[in-house]
């Protein structure tokens, strides 16, 4: 026992002494200890002990006397003496000196594993969640989980983008459908349905093409597909899915008056069935400007042949007569044989197309009018092409079938002479073919040619006589027949109320023409066709 107070230096001191057993590191002596120890009843003490004086190996040989009774215990030898002691194995707790004294510790209940804990005898297993890796207590995402996360996020983004695209597409589709409906109304779709209904015909009797079909047929209206172009618009060559070649007429712009003409042409052509009329296959009303789809006529217009020297040489007299007869037959059919009589109102060489065998096909019925059976004439706004217009129609506004007859007469003159209906850069007395055509001169030249071709030489004129006759015809104004033609011109001027030269009208010389309405003259450019309508 250690003495904390040395009494050798005190004399005559009779105080009390304290004695106790305690762990040295658990008690620190101070002046207050004397006072405080009065109230202390317990102090920590370490007692080092052991069982017997044998080692663990020696004790284990005698199982009956061996103190470590629990199967989950172990023997160990103290460091400071002989003998042995017992303790529970790691993972067990309790009294190792009893048979069932050491019981398993449930580490999972102690919260040692924050994830997947599985208790075992004397131990436990700690696992990371699926997709993670580590010792169970410290887990981090595994590569497969990262890949799954990336894949999941990517899929979510793709789904969001897909949903956004579908919503955008649906919005565009609805907007496009609204736009098509707007164009359908603007381009006279309702008017077409009303007129078809008024005539007792189903709307399905006129084929309605979609804009997609016609864009595909013309390679999105590519310039390489253009076969004709003019002031009113453009004609494209197109290829339909059934490999049939068509001509698609696309206007540049359409005002309300032109919409009515467009619908009128659809109505007229949809009820005309004649081999010499350009067949209307259908129309498209869902584009910004309406489109007409015709059969494709490959050889261009009559005008492009008559007024082109290289092409005119292929128009023999027989072919010219054939073209004239076929065109006349169409007009006769329209006037007399159609279910409802039709006045074309714009007969001209530009509106007569030719196929590869020079078969005539009358086209462009935009200005045409249906004539009720109980009417012989109609009061209309004057419309047509300058040079072909009936002067009586221009004066009275009364449209009759004879107005087509006059226009066809001008076409016949073009076939005979090769001259245009109007040429503005000619002298005043040569501008209008219809006014200054000297029929008598042509007859006289034909008679002179017949005389030259007499079989008997003595019946033929001499070249002096031939020369004198032709020279006289050249100065036709001095002959009586010339005066007759001048009177005819004056009569026309009186009907028209304008001079025969049409001064003040400006037209470029590209095979174009001028339309007339009431008292005013409106210039426009017609389409010089090299293909079809």
Over residues 427-439, the mean pLDDT reads: 70
* Residue 77 pLDDT exceeds 80: yes
- Band (pLDDT 50/70/90 cuts) for residue 12 is low
Q: What is the pLDDT of residue 520?
A: 29
Q: Are both 188 and 286 inside the same structural domain?
A: yes
Domain coverage including residue 19: 7-39
Q: Are both 326 and 407 inside the same structural domain?
A: yes
DSSP code, position 24: G
* Residue 17 pLDDT exceeds 70: no
Q: Classify strands 280-284 and 291-295 as parallel, antiparallel or unpaired.
A: antiparallel
| Percentage above 90 pLDDT, the chain | 21
Q: CB-side exposure of 7: number of CA atoms within 13 Å?
A: 8
- Band (pLDDT 50/70/90 cuts) for residue 508 is very low
* Residue 528 pLDDT exceeds 60: no
State both tokens at 380: 């209309």
State both tokens at 40: 């202390």
State both tokens at 453: 């071709």
Q: Are both 416 and 531 inside the same structural domain?
A: yes
- Band (pLDDT 50/70/90 cuts) for residue 7 is low
Which distant-in-sequence residues (6+ apart) come within 8 Å of 297 by Cβ? 247, 278, 353, 354, 355, 361, 363, 531, 532, 533
Q: Are both 346 and 424 inside the same structural domain?
A: yes
* Residue 350 pLDDT exceeds 80: yes
| Percentage above 70 pLDDT, the chain | 76
Q: What is the pLDDT of residue 424?
A: 75
Over residues 444-460, the mean pLDDT reads: 83
Q: Are both 400 and 533 inside the same structural domain?
A: yes
How many C-beta atoms surround the C-beta of residue 168 within 10 A?
A: 10
Domain count, the chain: 3
Determine, yes or no, domain membership for 384: yes
Mean pLDDT of the chain: 77
Q: Are both 277 and 348 inside the same structural domain?
A: no
Query: 448's torsion region: left (phi>0), alpha (psi -120 to 50) or beta?
Result: alpha
Q: Are both 519 and 422 inside the same structural domain?
A: yes
- For residues 292 and 380, the model is more confident at 292
Which distant-in-sequence residues (6+ apart) come within 8 Å of 280 by Cβ? 265, 266, 269, 270, 292, 293, 294
- Band (pLDDT 50/70/90 cuts) for residue 236 is very high
We report the CATH number of the domain holding residue 408 as 1.10.510.10
* Residue 74 pLDDT exceeds 80: yes
Q: How far apart are CA 180 and CA 6, in angstroms?
A: 119
- Catalytically active residues, by annotation: 346
The 8 Å CB, 24+ separation contacts for 45-51 are: 45/21, 48/78, 48/80, 48/81, 49/83, 49/85, 50/77, 50/78, 50/81, 50/82, 50/83, 50/84, 50/85, 51/83, 51/84, 51/85, 51/86
**Domain boundary residue among 256, 273, 296?**
296
Q: Are both 287 and 349 inside the same structural domain?
A: no
Determine, yes or no, domain membership for 192: yes
Q: What is the pLDDT of residue 114?
A: 80
pLDDT 10s digits, 403-426: 889 898 889 988 988 888 887 777
- Band (pLDDT 50/70/90 cuts) for residue 531 is very low
Q: What is the pLDDT of residue 205?
A: 66
pLDDT 10s digits, 244-275: 999 998 877 666 666 777 777 787 777 788 89
268 touches 342 (CB < 8 A): yes
- For residues 104 and 493, the model is more confident at 104
The 8 Å CB, 24+ separation contacts for 234-242 are: 235/527, 235/529, 235/531, 235/532, 235/533, 237/296, 237/531, 237/532, 238/214, 238/293, 240/213, 241/213
Determine, yes or no, domain membership for 100: no
Q: Which range is most confident: 35-44, 136-145, 342-351?
A: 342-351
Q: How far apart are CA 263 and CA 188, in angstroms?
A: 7
State both tokens at 100: 């069932």
* Residue 48 pLDDT exceeds 80: no
Over residues 215-226, the mean pLDDT reads: 93
pLDDT 10s digits, 146-157: 777 788 899 999
Over residues 77-104, the mean pLDDT reads: 90
State the alpha helices, DSSP H only, in 89-221: 143-186, 189-198, 211-217
Determine, yes or no, domain membership for 402: yes
Q: Are both 306 and 288 inside the same structural domain?
A: no
Tell me the three state secondary structure of residue 292: strand
- Band (pLDDT 50/70/90 cuts) for residue 514 is very low
For 199-203, 385-389, 508-512, which range has the lowest pLDDT when averaged over its residues? 508-512
Determine, yes or no, domain membership for 379: yes
Q: Are both 309 and 371 inside the same structural domain?
A: yes
Q: What is the pLDDT of residue 254?
A: 64
The DSSP H or E segment spanning 458 is none
Which distant-in-sequence residues (6+ apart) come within 8 Å of 474 by Cβ? none
Determine, yes or no, domain membership for 492: no
Torsion of CA 156, 161, 162, 164, to 10 degrees: 120
Q: Which range is most confident: 148-162, 183-197, 372-386?
A: 148-162
* Residue 489 pLDDT exceeds 70: no
Determine, yes or no, domain membership for 320: yes
Q: Which range is most confident: 41-50, 136-145, 280-289?
A: 280-289
Secondary-structure percent of the chain, ordered helix, strand, coil, rounded to 5: 40, 15, 45
Burial 47-61 (b: 16+ CB within 10 A, else e): eeeebeebebeebee
Q: Are both 378 and 514 inside the same structural domain?
A: yes
* Residue 67 pLDDT exceeds 70: yes
Of 525, 531, 530, nearest to 252 by C-alpha is 525
For 32-36, 102-106, 524-528, which range has the lowest pLDDT when averaged over its residues? 524-528
250 is in an annotated binding site: yes
**Domain boundary residue among 266, 296, 326?**
296
Of 48, 1, 36, 49, nearest to 21 by C-alpha is 1
Q: How far apart are CA 445 and CA 391, in angstroms?
A: 29
Q: How far apart are CA 289 and CA 422, in angstroms?
A: 31
Query: 36's torsion region: left (phi>0), alpha (psi -120 to 50) or beta?
Result: alpha
Q: Are both 305 and 290 inside the same structural domain?
A: no
**Domain boundary residue among 240, 268, 296?**
296
* Residue 462 pLDDT exceeds 80: yes
pLDDT 10s digits, 51-66: 888 899 889 888 888 9
Determine, yes or no, domain membership for 31: yes
Q: What is the pLDDT of residue 286?
A: 84
Over residues 193-210, the mean pLDDT reads: 74
* Residue 14 pLDDT exceeds 70: no
Q: What is the pLDDT of residue 196?
A: 73
We report the CATH number of the domain holding residue 179 as 3.30.200.20
Over residues 290-297, the mean pLDDT reads: 88
């Amino acid at each position: 026992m250690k003495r904390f107070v040395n009494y050798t230096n005190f004399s005559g001191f009779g105080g009390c002494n304290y004695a106790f057993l305690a762990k040295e590191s658990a008690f620190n002596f101070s002046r207050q200890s004397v006072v405080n120890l009065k109230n202390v009843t317990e102090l920590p003490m370490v007692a080092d002990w052991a069982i017997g004086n044998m080692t663990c190996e020696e004790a284990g040989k005698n199982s009956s006397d061996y103190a470590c009774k629990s199967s989950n215990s172990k023997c160990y030898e103290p460091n400071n003496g002989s003998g042995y002691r017992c303790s529970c194995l790691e993972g067990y707790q309790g009294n190792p000196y009893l048979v069932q004294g050491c019981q398993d510790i449930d580490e999972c209940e102690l919260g040692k594993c924050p994830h997947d804990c599985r208790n075992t005898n004397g131990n436990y297993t700690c696992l990371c969640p699926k997709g993670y890796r580590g010792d169970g207590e410290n887990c981090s995402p595994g590569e497969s989980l990262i890949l799954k996360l990336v894949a999941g996020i990517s899929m979510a983004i793709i789904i969001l983008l897909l949903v956004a695209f579908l919503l955008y597409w649906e919005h565009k589709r609805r907007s496009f459908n609204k736009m098509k409906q707007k164009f359908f109304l603007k381009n006279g779709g309702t008017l077409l349905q009303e007129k078809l209904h008024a005539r007792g015909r189903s709307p399905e009797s006129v084929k309605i093409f979609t804009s997609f079909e016609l864009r595909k047929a013309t390679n999105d209206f590519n310039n390489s597909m253009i076969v004709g172009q003019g002031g009113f618009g453009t004609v494209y060559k197109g290829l339909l899915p059934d490999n049939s070649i068509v001509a698609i007429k696309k206007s540049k712009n359409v005002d309300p008056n032109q919409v009515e003409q467009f619908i009128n042409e659809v109505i007229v052509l949809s009820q005309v069935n004649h081999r010499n009329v350009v067949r209307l296959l259908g129309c498209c009303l869902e584009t910004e400007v309406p489109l007409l789809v015709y059969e494709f006529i490959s050889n261009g217009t009559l005008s492009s042949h008559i007024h082109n020297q290289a092409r005119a040489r292929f128009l023999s007299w027989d072919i010219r007569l054939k073209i004239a007869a076929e065109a006349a037959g169409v007009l006769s059919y329209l006037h007399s044989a159609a279910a409802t009589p039709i006045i074309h109102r714009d007969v001209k060489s530009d509106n007569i197309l030719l196929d590869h065998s020079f078969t005539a096909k009358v086209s462009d019925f935009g200005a045409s009018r249906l004539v009720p059976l109980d009417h012989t004439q109609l009061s209309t706004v004057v419309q047509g092409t300058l040079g072909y217009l009936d002067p009586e129609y221009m004066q009275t506004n009364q449209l009759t079938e004879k107005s087509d007859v006059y226009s066809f007469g001008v076409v016949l003159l073009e076939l005979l002479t090769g001259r245009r209906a109007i040429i503005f850069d000619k002298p005043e007395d040569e501008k209008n073919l219809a006014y200054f055509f000297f029929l008598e001169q042509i007859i006289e030249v034909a008679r002179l040619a017949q005389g030259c071709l007499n079989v008997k030489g003595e019946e033929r004129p001499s070249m002096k006589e031939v020369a004198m006759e032709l020279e006289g015809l050249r100065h036709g104004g001095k002959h009586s027949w010339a005066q007759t033609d001048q009177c005819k011109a004056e009569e026309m001027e009186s009907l028209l109320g304008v001079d025969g030269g049409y001064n003040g009208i400006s037209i470029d010389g590209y095979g174009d023409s001028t339309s007339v309405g009431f008292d005013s003259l409106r210039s426009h450019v017609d389409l010089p066709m090299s293909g079809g309508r």
